[in-house]
């Protein structure tokens, strides 16, 4: 695969395909009866710690015959490349999204799965197969997007309509604070680094921005859309916990559970189980609701991005380990797990037999609104990293939006030149 080529996902349709997938009769492959999982070589998994991914890890560990281990951590993106670069690879599988797979592809660390799909993939559907340059490189098991999560009881009490735009969200935040009900009513995963960059990406796209000049790896964030995105993020942050630059989705959700947040942009994969934790008041449980992603600046497309999550198989391992890994990971997403209501609630699953829960409607809405898929470009990760490193100073009032955007482009160019993209 050429590093400078755009990575095309052929068999998985995000923007239009998620809703279609769930609204049609079962297609192509009839799930075979689940069989016991027997493997003959080690399996070692790295991935995020989200509940749905914990379920996948647990499903792989059901296999017998050899050891299955899982390192599921919020730091997975910091360790998966290094862990799959050794000879042999420390991890035989990385659970990735359409963001984090790029780094593995760029370093040629994962293997094509076509032969293993043919041999062991009878329960997989065609639109689970992430095909890149004509080869299956990952198996998707869930769809995701960020959308509005809010306290309907608080909005109703203050006669505030459910926000459909970030401008309306900002106005709602002002009214909630003024009422004295919640001091810092806005939640957001604004932790400096990956999370902060993703919030910028959402807002930037909503304002009509494009990260790169057309058909090139040249940066394009230092623009009017970039300035507007930063300014809106700064305005919203004034209604967040003062420690917002340390808040990832876990911390933001904890604030919501505690009753300290009334409106927030949150991942669909977290919405269904958001208020299931111990100690959450009935007021918060009964008051929580979900809505579609918001737009911004008069734009028609959501200020959000569509994602898939799936698993890969390492390249620098034996064929026996690769086959064992494929078998174990396929077992982890077998159709029978959809019979468990608690598991169904954890995600918008791309698994045969999934019946959408009410909590899935935010991701469905994102699909119907033609939310932009996160760009799977070989240099997109470099831009994401540059954004995450440079925005914090602006959010703290230490530099202008224009200077921040210039710094982002400079940091990106340095990395892109080093990698040979520019």
Cis peptide before 102 (omega within 30 of 0): no
Q: Buried b / exposed e across 355-377, counting CB within 10 Å, b at 16+?
A: eebebbbbbbbbbebebbbbbbb
User: What SS3 class is residue 48?
Assistant: coil
Angle (CA) 340 346 348, round 5°: 100
Q: Buried b / exposed e across 35-58, counting CB within 10 Å, b at 16+?
A: eebebebbbbbbbbebbbbebbbe
Question: Which alpha helices (H) appear in 294-360, and where do they start and end?
Answer: 319-332, 341-344
pLDDT tens digit sequence for 284-341: 999 999 999 999 999 999 999 999 999 999 999 999 999 999 999 999 999 999 999 8
Residues in the chain with pLDDT values less than 70: 1-35
pLDDT tens digit sequence for 306-319: 999 999 999 999 99
DSSP 139-183: EEEEEEEEEEEEEHHHHHHTT-PPPSBHHHHHHHHHHHHHHTS-S
Q: What is the pTM of this model?
A: 0.83
Positions of CATH 3.40.190.10 in the chain? 17-144+306-372, 145-305+375-419
Q: How far is CA 201 from CA 127, 214, 289, 309, in A?
A: 26, 17, 24, 18
Contacts for 206 with CB less than 8 Å, ≥ 6 apart = 166, 229, 294, 295, 296, 297, 299, 301, 302, 303, 304
Domain spanning 145-305+375-419, CATH class: alpha beta
* Separation between Cα atoms, residue 413 and residue 383, nearest integer Å: 9
Is 114 within 8 Å of 233 (Cβ atoms)? no
pLDDT tens digit sequence for 96-122: 998 889 889 889 999 999 999 999 999
pLDDT tens digit sequence for 51-75: 899 999 999 999 999 999 999 998 8
Pick from 143, 232, 150: nearest CA to 190? 232
Q: How far is CA 122 from CA 31, 179, 351, in A?
A: 7, 57, 12
Domain 17-144+306-372 architecture: 3-Layer(aba) Sandwich (3.40)
* Separation between Cα atoms, residue 201 and residue 115, nearest integer Å: 36
Is 264 within 8 Å of 186 (Cβ atoms)? yes
């Amino acid at each position: 695969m050429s590093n400078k080529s755009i990575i095309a996902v052929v068999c998985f349709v995000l923007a239009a395909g998620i809703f279609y997938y769930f609204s049609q009769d079962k297609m192509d492959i009839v799930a075979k009866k689940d069989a016991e999982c027997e493997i003959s070589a080690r399996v070692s998994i790295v991935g995020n710690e989200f509940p749905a991914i914990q379920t996948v890890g647990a499903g792989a560990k059901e296999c017998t015959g050899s050891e299955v281990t899982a390192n599921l951590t919020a730091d997975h993106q910091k360790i998966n490349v290094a862990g799959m670069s050794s000879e042999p690879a420390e991890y035989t599988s990385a659970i990735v999204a359409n963001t984090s797979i790029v780094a593995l592809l760029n370093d040629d660390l994962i293997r094509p799965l076509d032969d293993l799909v043919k041999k062991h993939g009878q329960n997989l559907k065609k639109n689970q197969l992430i095909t890149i340059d004509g080869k299956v490189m990952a198996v998707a098991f869930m769809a995701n997007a960020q959308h509005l999560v809010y306290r309907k009881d608080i909005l109703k009490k203050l006669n505030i309509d459910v926000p459909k735009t970030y401008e309306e969200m900002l106005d709602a935040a002002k009214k909630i604070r003024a009422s004295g009900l919640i001091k810092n009513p806005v939640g957001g995963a604004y932790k400096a680094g990956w999370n902060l960059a993703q919030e910028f990406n959402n807002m930037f796209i909503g304002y009509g921005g494009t990260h790169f000049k057309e058909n090139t790896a040249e940066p394009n964030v230092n623009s009017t859309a970039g300035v507007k995105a930063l300014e809106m993020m700064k305005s919203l942050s004034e209604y967040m916990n003062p420690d917002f630059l340390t808040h990832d989705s876990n911390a933001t959700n904890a604030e919501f559970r505690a009753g300290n947040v009334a409106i927030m942009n949150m991942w669909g994969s977290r919405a269904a189980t958001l208020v299931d934790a111990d100690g959450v008041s009935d007021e918060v449980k009964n008051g929580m609701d979900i809505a579609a992603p918001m737009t911004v600046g008069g734009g028609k497309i959501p200020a959000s991005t569509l994602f898939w999550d799936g698993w890969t198989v390492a390249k620098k391992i034996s064929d026996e380990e690769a086959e064992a890994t494929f078998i174990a990971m396929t077992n982890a997403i077998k159709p029978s797990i959809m019979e468990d209501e608690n598991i169904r609630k954890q995600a918008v699953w791309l698994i045969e037999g999934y019946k959408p829960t009410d909590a899935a409607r935010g991701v469905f809405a994102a699909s119907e609104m033609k939310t932009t898929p996160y760009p799977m470009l070989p240099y997109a990760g470099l831009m994401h990293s540059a954004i995450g490193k440079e925005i914090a100073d602006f959010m703290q009032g230490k530099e202008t939006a224009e200077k921040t955007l210039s710094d982002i482009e400079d940091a990106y160019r340095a990395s892109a030149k080093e990698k040979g993209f520019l």
